[in-house]
Structure 1
Amino acid sequence: MKPQTQQPPRHTIRGTVMTLNTPQPPISVGVDEAARLIGVARSMFYEMIARGDIQTFKVGRRRLVRVKALEAYVRRLAKENGR
Structure 2
Amino acid sequence: MARLQLDRSAVYDLLRTRQLASITLGLNRLIPAYALADFIHTHLDQEAAC
Same fold flag (TM > 0.5): yes
**Runs of 4+ with deviation above 4 angstroms:** none
1:15-74 deviations in whole A, cap 9, x for unaligned? xxxxxxxxxxxxxxxxxxxx1111111110000011110111111111000011101100
**Is 1:38 aligned with 2:4?**
yes
Greater Rg by CA: 1
Number of residue equivalences: 49
**Identical counterparts, % of pairs:** 16
**Which blocks of at least 5 consecutive residues in structure 1 are unaligned?**
1-34
Q: Where do residues 54-73 of structure 1 align in structure 2 (5 Å cutoff)?
A: 54-73=20-39
Say which structure is richer in helix: 2
Letter in 2 for 1:47: D
Give the aligned CA root-mean-square deviation in angstroms: 1.1
Relative contact order, higher structure (CA 8 A, sep 6+): 1
What TM-score results when the alignment is normalised by the length of structure 1?
0.55
